[in-house]
Amino acid sequence: MGEVIVPLGMVFDPAQTYRVIILDIRLPEVIACIIVGANLAVSGAVMQSVFRNPLAEPYITGTASGALLGALIGLFINVVLRLGSLSSMIILPILSFVGAMFSIAVVVMFGRGGWLSLVLAGIAVSIMLSSAVMILDTYLLTILPTLPAVVYLLFGTVSGVNWSEDLVMLCVSLPVIAYLLSSSREINLIMMSDEVAQASGVNPGQTRNVLITLTGLLTAVSVSFTGIIGFVGLVTPHITRLLISSSDNSKVMPLSIISGSTIMLYANIISKVLVPGVVMPITAITSLFGVPILLILLRGGRNE
């Protein structure tokens, strides 16, 4: 499904036109949806557990704005130096990660007074970096108006993602997600309290820093290729915990990965068929459905 409807009978034996649509356009987008959905969902589950707050999500420490600024700087360097697509695929994730880590470092530095201080610092850093993003974005569009990737990075979309970019995201995401899944015990202990974690032989401060860094890496690699996609990281862990009636991260994280990927896949379809001939930003679709779900959860007083 999409702007062009491929007949069901042509999916496994496509004609040349449909072959290009399916293999070169649709499948890379599907893989990107699965990877990004998994990245944001598992990052949200980890952040909510690490900060012991149901409103935590991958972007709470300003990582999205920082990662996006890094990606735009990488895009600017690529345009100015004419490095080509291969260099762009390497530079964008690296600078996105640097930007995400910078925002996390600033938020943690100024948000040591507790959860409220952390949130306020995150908001402040996000606004500051978003301003820098708008300035750089405007300049890039001025010197190179035919660069649509700049605009789409702000809105969030998987349109235009190719197999090479999928491979880069996969190479980064798979080992990080595998490590996070293997660390479910430590995450559960930190979720209870630092004292419990320490009594069980886990260094809460060090472990928390590692987990925040890894979720920042997942966020950065997602933002660098698909832009900011909202509410997947916030709502998906809530839905998962509600469905399984458990906060055990050994169950919540793997199921959140499945749920996040599924949400992204359906959001991608809706973004293409909602208005015929127009591809809507995915973040508009995820927010459209994510906000009511969050309000229903808040109304029902469901706090994990």
DSSP string, 3-28: SSPPPGGGSSS--HHHHIIIIIIIHH
**pLDDT one digit per residue (tens) for the chain, 304 residues:** 777 778 887 777 777 778 888 888 899 999 999 999 999 999 999 999 988 888 778 887 788 888 888 888 887 887 777 776 656 667 877 888 888 888 888 887 887 655 667 778 878 888 898 888 888 877 877 777 665 555 666 778 888 888 988 998 999 999 999 999 999 999 999 999 889 999 999 998 889 888 988 998 898 888 888 888 988 998 999 999 989 999 999 999 999 999 999 999 999 999 888 887 788 888 889 988 888 877 887 776 544 4
pLDDT given at position 189: 94
pLDDT given at position 173: 95
pLDDT given at position 302: 47
Asked if residues 156 and 229 have their Cβ atoms less than 8 Å apart, the reply is yes
| Residues near 1 by beta carbon (within 8 Å), at least 6 away in sequence | 269, 272, 273
**291, two tokens:** 């906000």
Placement of tokens 């007949």 in the chain: 7
CATH number belonging to the domain at 8-299, selected among 2.130.10.10, 3.10.580.10, 1.10.3470.10, 3.40.50.300: 1.10.3470.10
Instruction: Indicate the pTM of the whole model.
Output: 0.86
pLDDT given at position 105: 84
CA distances from 16 to 11, 13, 19, 21, 122 (A): 11, 10, 5, 9, 49
pLDDT given at position 300: 66
User: Alpha-carbon distance 79 to 143, whole Å?
Assistant: 10
3-state DSSP assignment of residue 275: strand
pLDDT given at position 174: 96
Name the strand (E) or helix (H) holding 89: helix 85-110
